[in-house]
Structure 1
């Protein structure tokens, strides 16, 4: 193998090879096919699945950062069955778009996909990164919309202007889009321009007129449901001709309600009227020719307060149970009406609203927002409107999807020497999901006894589990000793007897029940009676009973008692066991940082990011267990980059550990691209490195130029440029060019191009010659005979002037 360098781009080459040994050079090989020396293009961006079903997948990718100097003319799409399939081409016609639908897939089978680019020179790129595993299955996600908050208010536009209504749409499968006006589908007109993509929907109404005012609805629907977004539009236009019929009246009967010059608006509120008074009104139009004929408002008008009962319009989604994940935000937006404007009151059926609730109300809507919800925010939220005409109420059921709350009434029953029975009641809340099972744990209060659990003292706790994870633990208040009453002492033997006393001995119990024997009680039963009585207490298995009646018959028995035990926790200082302290993830990927922890009692865990308390968001959550603490980052972005600090604290001490999170992303664009020097055939550029390197070091730059006014972007450097300056050569004199710079980092990701330099004309700069000398040479310089006279001068100018040496008489010679 041999690499041939310094070829000229665009030139075709043929090659042949000779073999040589000590005797000489052999015959040449056959001539190779002709190859044109061209740069390969960069691979396309990593493809992403934008639509998935059980038999097809739609993927989308970005164009190559560099096209190899020729336009990209098509793409090759390949798939691979997982886990052990081979790459197979799936497109058999040229794909010119950056989107392709792969059909004929098998339901529930996993695949991965990649894309290769081809340019007009016939050069193929390397394949792109794989999409990663994708399962061919129907995904159902109800339609949802992201819109500018301005659409909640009335949209006002002047007649003759263009009206644009747009929204970002979401849902799986991709929702069908329909635009309605006053409840009817909009007719097709030349002035209407409807655009719908997989991620957005918009409508443009050109040259608006007063007839375009009204109520519009954006309706999204798929197999997951339907979503309707109302929008109200008002067009400000010149007045229409007043309508009749007309009648003659005397001028003295009418009072002018407007200024003498009239109004530009098409509506007027007349105040200072008498309550319940009857009035007639008329309107005149004014133009440059003067005041037109009046037109009367039909009938009389009674000045009385218009009454309208309160009304609540619940969206279809709010009529169902509203589900939200723990840590997310609850937003209930409800349209309301009523005159006079009703008072708004929000309540929670089980009690007062949380202090975290924020309520915003206007005459047309009310909104309840609760951030960072948890399981206790579940329940029925009641909205009540009230004005003079009455009261109107509606409710919304909210379910927070969370882990269950702690089980209730945890008790210990039926304690034996090697087992206990733990009882509890179901949790107060199930976290919005059916409880699947319970986890029961025990904790020793003193120490762990390997293979000898009898006699140990334990705490017990229980938590419920659902599909969202482990719930809160319920723990016994006091420790429980695994023990029972001791077995009875062994055989009792009569050691000695007198007429008034006996001495007894007995064998220790075969088992002490898990607790040390403290003492023995000796009981006596005289013959002919049925009542036992304690006659002495002994600490050893032997006792003498005195003061007996001579010739009387007695029976004896022995009972033992164990030592009471006080439970006490062992304290262990918290520790963190991490193999490494830096975690990295590609932008858009998911990252789980799990920190093993240890300590007794259980340490309190807290997290910080860049010195500030870490807040849970929809993309970052914290999950603490007995043995670890996790931060889970979904769809990582630059906002997740930083230094995280975990702190563990209990009664035995406190420990903190730093963890660095790096998100590998494309770098930011270079900035401050400027021209340092211009000649007749070259330009020197310099720039500032990107502010953000994408999580890995910037390794080089791509410099591009464009002939103005209509040239295409062409790469100027064909080797890596690690410096922040570059000389662009081979330019044409008096030609205008535009330049830009793209950065590349160690992860192989390219930034977007920098801002253009703007038009630059390639020509030599001309500055007149200038001579700068020390001010002392302006006066007479005195030098002694025999000394050397040296006169220094700085010479400047473009092009650089030739230096001269002047003689004493004033004649000049070129230096």
Structure 2
């Protein structure tokens, strides 16, 4: 059974129809001279032949009563549509008929066609079926009918055609872990941002830098089926900022922002001066560099060198204030001082060097075992300020008598 009962043309009768009997008219004259009649009377007329009778109509099979065949299946619906298949389901009919139930027949009809094509050659007992190997772009209607020994019942038909098309997958961007934080590069290095994304069909990808279009003279972009790559051969500090990737598909979009920071070594401190020298100590002060290298400073490195050897020794590293006191200087030596700035790229190429030298004088106070106290009175207050050898007495409230 093919399940085409509702779509097949009705059964036709015999090919020839019975001809109706026609009345025979008087014979026409033949044009020949009639034979002379016998005397004594007219010739008797020839008896007429009976007309052929029409054949009896063929006997037609009566249609099964409606209560014998199943009713239409219920709740026919599309469960899923892919690029090459469609899955449909339905519920059993309310009435299966009086005779033995055999199953269901699923049929398809392409849009614009008139013929229903069965999917399964024989009735099946399942109420869900997936039709595979369909062509992309096809549109067709679906119907299903229940079948028993008496025949096929009325079908259930989908109201709208099923369209086989590419499955739309919303675009997504997967930012690599190392790009989720600020991407730091040094001046002259390459910038290579490879950002994977998903989407079906292939989405459109575009880049911006700080909200503006990219400079095509310096920035190269290559977008494939699954990722987009932004490449800069030699980074400059002006390349720092926010790079935003936008992936669009069928009115849907996804965005991802990558922060890039291009840095270089900082400049040296602007100025440096020797504030004071006492005992074995020297006080220094400097000003921050005008150029920090496009990033924060990690601090300053302070070095000293005595005039005899000229060798530089580090006193302080990654020191944050801009003033310091260098202690434990050797008596009798003269010292120069210099200060470097430091950031992620390292120390500045040059340093700020003191113009004056710190001379550590030989005094009796500096001899071992000797110590002198200086007493100062504070007018009527009678206070006393004391400093040991190498440390001057400073008091804003006191003045020497």
Does TM, normalized by the shorter one, top 0.5? no
Asked which structure has the greater CA Rg, the reply is 2
Higher RCO, Cα 8 Å, sep 6+: 2
- What TM-score do the two structures reach when normalised by structure 2? 0.44
- What TM-score do the two structures reach when normalised by structure 1? 0.24
